[in-house]
Structure 1
Amino acid sequence: MAKQERKRALRGRAGRMKGGRGSGRASAGHVRLWGRHPVEAALKNPARDHRKLWATREGIDSLDGELPPEFPVEYADAADLARLVAKDAPHQGLVLECLPLDDVFLADVATGDPARPVVVLDQVTDPHNVGAILRSAAAFGAAAILTQDRHAPPESGVVAKSASGALETVPWVRVVNLARALDELAEAGYWRIGMTGEAEATLAEAMPKGALAIVLGAEGEGLRANVAGHCDALARLPISSSIESLNVSNAAAIALYAAATRT
């Protein structure tokens, strides 16, 4: 079906939003996503259980793809949609309510492929940073990101918007014990590099040729001692002494680029 025909099909299924009111929060057990890239990626993800889409006519027109038959869509104006999302969230005329993605298990994604590193996040709790790291992980072909369940943000519209669609394509593994998960990565053949500004070796010097796990800590706190102790090597980025550190999402992007271009 041509793109214009798909757009007509989308518009033809849309109803009218009743009342234009919303709490700004998803229903219990659901996730509310907003913005063209996150919503379009979620709609195209067969692993997503979608419940309802609210949209402006312009938002529907911006989508590239066809909704399933009888998909629940309601038209709304921009002010109505603003009531369905976080304050000042850039919804771009699209708000989707859906179920969270199913759990992903480390053994299913840690295949030992040298071209697909695993990104491990130690208590990185800012949803914007996690979303940006997901986006970089997608760009550089990472196998997954790995977080500790209690010290990471939940799946949310903020994460999805920052990830710009990557939430739907990069597996997100949540574990109870991060140190134990690092041991499992070692058993699967991964060389675990903890990123810290205090390390003597640079990332290029510590980089292996085989399977790699890049371990990053939260801004300010950095890697916890127990997590650093479960790494095979510690490394730093060779940044100028005029700045103390990089944002963790920037550090992740640089490390993933270095892994993708190693020889």
Structure 2
Amino acid sequence: MTNDATPMIALEGVSKSFGRKHVLRGVDLIVPKGTSMVIIGGSGTGKSVTLKCVLGLVEPDAGTIRVDGRDMHEGDRDAFLARFGMLFQGGALFDSLPVWQNVAFRLLRGALKRPRREAREIAIEKLRRVGLTPDVADAFPAELSGGMQKRVGLARAIAADPEIIFFDEPTTGLDPIMAGVINDLIREIVTEMGATAMTITHDMSSVRAIADHVAMLHDGVIKWTGPVSEMDSAADPFLQQFIHGRAEGPIAAVR
């Protein structure tokens, strides 16, 4: 039995190594329901591996992961994955499919399958929600700008009205203005849907725009976590070096 006090996502002691490379060394993290958690940290610190562990794409070596109070391995796998939506870094659209089929990809197959006409209508509705007109539906990804492709990716992430949405570097490759547009859309949509969001990014403007809570991941462990409102005043030296982009500090520059 779960309730509103049960975290939507809870990681305890999660560790993962690839050969001799220890990526996660005991990650503890709580993501309350209906909140936006942003994980920050440098490249190669384990942010993407953390998301993949929650989704079950990577099996942790140790630790537990619970989603809405249940171990992620319990129950039907398809039903588990149906709770998630994801905006991939770079969009990850299918070049050979028109935009509407990209958006409705999950609605055209598997456990969430809908009639083709209904799936198209839903896709057009979601495209409209991210600021794209219905005529975009029959275009192909290569015909769109980078910002439009990112919006299509966002429409796909919310097409099945998921409870949990993951955002992987949502503003990578975008100019500052379009990055701001995408950040605003993410914030609005997550709030409207009442979804739980988990984002990984190194873009501090994204952090300030979309986060309720922030977690600093370094060397495979969470160094600091707390409300975004407390981030700037926190005493943690790893966090302060990262958010201010300082060369000097406990985080060594990769050469």
Q: If the length of structure 1 is used for normalisation, what is the TM-score?
A: 0.25
Bigger Rg over Cα? 1
- Normalising by structure 2, we get a TM-score of 0.26
